[in-house]
Amino acid sequence: MRLADELIAKAESRKARFGVIGLGYVGLPLAVELANAGYEVVGFDVNQHVVDGLNAGRSHVGDITDDQLGAIRSAGRFTATVDMARLSETDAISICVPTPLSKFKDPDVSFIVAASDAVKGSLRRGQVIILESTTYPGTTREIMLPALEGTGLTVGEDFFLAFSPERVDPGNARYQTKNTPKVIGGITPDCCRVATAFYAAAIDTLVAVSTTEAAELVKLLENTFRIVNIGLANEMAIVCDKLGVDVWEVIEAAATKPFGFMKFLPGPGLGGHCIPIDPHYLAWKMRGLNYKTRFIDLAGEVNTEMPLFWIRKVGETLNERGQAVRGSKILVLGVAYKPDISDTRESPAIDIFRLLADQGAQVSYHDPLVPMFRDDGREHRSVPLTAEAIEAADCVMIVTNHSTIDFELVREHARTVVDTRNALGRR
């Protein structure tokens, strides 16, 4: 029997052991689903505190409860470690490490390189390696493959290498790791077959593509589609503001068309680890091929400018009452990058908070999910949302529309409101 078929049979019988490198908001939910499917899973992370917490049954990821973690630990199907030497014990390894941008907006693949080196140090015949971290097209073939074949083993014969982009949407109650279709592309056809077989038990729908480059581009297209259309909605908000028209009324009316229109909403800007960052991977790659990704660059410009647009709206609103931004008390509602999660990565609310403070405003915030955040070395803490706190503010600025915020209280007691999310709705 060929090695690929042996591994597929091992996956189908659940006799294989799975390793997951990176136990954050992507890796931990994947590890849980793999364990639920019957695999013995070893989770790897460089953070000892995270590992100790997981081994004690404490989840640090919002989408995974302590009960879910406890169930797979009680069944003996999950353990966490910082010991990368244990990668040799696994038959399949999923790499779910961060891929941030450098300060020059270039891809930072140092975490992928570090994970590749760790896998290389323990690579043996009969393993499948699957990269899930979002990155530019060519990363799997150009960075991971040479490192792993540097061991003397041959891809597609001795080991198998594939790319399968993560599609996690933190806080999404409907679509999670298991029921979100998963795209897989392999370096060779057998690489794709083996990787697909290993995920088949844990993921409802698998979509095979012909190459790792195609799989890498899938994720970039998905998020570029979003950044461009959000940019269009944000520009329409500026257009409507200049025309004195309610942008949300226009969008809701346009959304009644049953074909040819998909509703995207304007807001304070983009946040999170994916949408504001991922399209830059593609733009960077194309610059190296002497091509300018004009849609991506323009959408990025529009979205980046939205905090300034809303700051100007605060100034105009206060000016109507004979006040300046300087010295005014402004209460920001919500600092997470999107509703009903606690993640503040790349959140436009942080930019808004800083810009208001730079203009001399006395800024406070309320966020039921973010009790504290740090910015430029300073610590800021959430204040209780009370009628008194709302009445004391010269302006309330709604930046993140958490479902648990009492917006009726805001409506009843706020002197003025700048609502970047249409949380109060049209009156």
Which tokens in the block code for residue 28? 């931990």
Helices in 201-293 by DSSP H: which ranges?
212-243, 247-254, 278-287
Which tokens in the block code for residue 160? 């198998």
Which tokens in the block code for residue 141? 């073939």
Angle at 100 between CA 98 and CA 104, to 5 degrees: 165
Burial-class residue 256 by CB neighbours within 10 Å (0-12, 13-18, 19+): exposed
Which one-letter amino acid corresponds to residue 411?
R
Do 159 and 129 touch, CB atoms closer than 8 A?
yes
Nearest to 349, CA basis, from 361, 337, 359 = 337
Angle at 120 between CA 129 and CA 91, to 5 degrees: 40
**Three-state SS for 291?**
coil
Do 94 and 19 touch, CB atoms closer than 8 A?
yes
Q: What residues are annotated to the active site?
A: 274
Query: What count of other Cβ atoms lies within 10 Å of the Cβ of residue 246?
Result: 14
Angle at 302 between CA 301 and CA 307, to 5 degrees: 105
DSSP 74-90: HTT-EEEES-GGGGGG-
Q: Distances in Å between the alpha carbon of 220 and those of 5, 60, 109?
A: 32, 27, 16
Angle at 346 between CA 410 and CA 368, to 5 degrees: 35
Q: Distances in Å between the alpha carbon of 3 and those of 152, 154, 217, 402?
A: 17, 12, 29, 51
**What's the sign of the alpha-carbon dihedral 218, 182, 341, 232?**
positive
Q: Distances in Å between the alpha carbon of 149 and those of 154, 157, 335?
A: 6, 11, 45
Do 357 and 327 touch, CB atoms closer than 8 A?
no
